[in-house]
Amino acid sequence: MSNYVFIRSDGSEVPVVIESRRGARNIILRPKTCPECEIHISKPFLVAESRAIKFLESKRKWIEKIFAAAPEKCAVRDGDEIEFLDRRVRLQHCPNTRSNELVMLDNGTWILRVGGGADMFERRVRDVIKAELLKSIKEIIKSTPREFWPARIALRDTTSRWGSCSSTGTMSFSWRLAFAPMAVMRYVVIHELAHKKHMDHSPAFWRQVSELYGFGVERAKRWLNQNGASLHRYF
């Protein structure tokens, strides 16, 4: 593993981490905007690091665009209201309890009661959001024919991809999809499920997406293209 620095056009420095992986076939760039700005590069073991840096520079405009689009981070605190999975939830710190509890009151208000110390507040809120997202993803998957079901589901924190499907059947999703409208989050899940039959973006693939998703697929896709950066505003 080696470390370099990527100098942005505004003069700010972004750490670059290069990893050599046996079996890798291509150089892959992974820009990260949270919790800190970083660029991770994975390369085949025999590829020189200088070649990886040259490849990074060839993608400068794309990298700059990702960092420029990243929203300013918003901290979450006791008493805040945030929206995830189409719910507006008030956060309540309960330091004398150890557990976390997401409940809907009789008046329809959602409250997330978070236990533990103040230094653990954000991490515990994040953990609950991830758990709720995973449940929703599983429900969407179960609504489709079994032939589209993945072998495994994983949640990631990526900036350049909302989801991915490997040839082994593992599907990964950005946990920040929890902050998107449910219809948009469902679109990403359906998109990856369609890759079980079509590992490309051919016309046949898009027909499969439309068939699985139903009415509104283009609207969901358009929303994500236009508003995706906003899903990174927390944490």
Q: In the chain, where does the domain assigned CATH 3.30.2010.10 lie?
A: 81-232
- pLDDT attached to residue 123: 95
- pLDDT attached to residue 235: 84
d(C-alpha 228, C-alpha 180), whole Å: 8
How many other CB atoms are there within 10 angstroms of residue 27's CB atom? Answer: 18
- pLDDT attached to residue 2: 54
Closest listed residue to residue 41, CA positions, set 62, 174, 51, 199 = 51
**Rounded (10°) CA dihedral 80, 235, 165, 219:** 50
Residue spans of the chain under pLDDT 70: 1-2, 34-35, 160
- pLDDT attached to residue 69: 77
- CATH, domain range 81-232: 3.30.2010.10
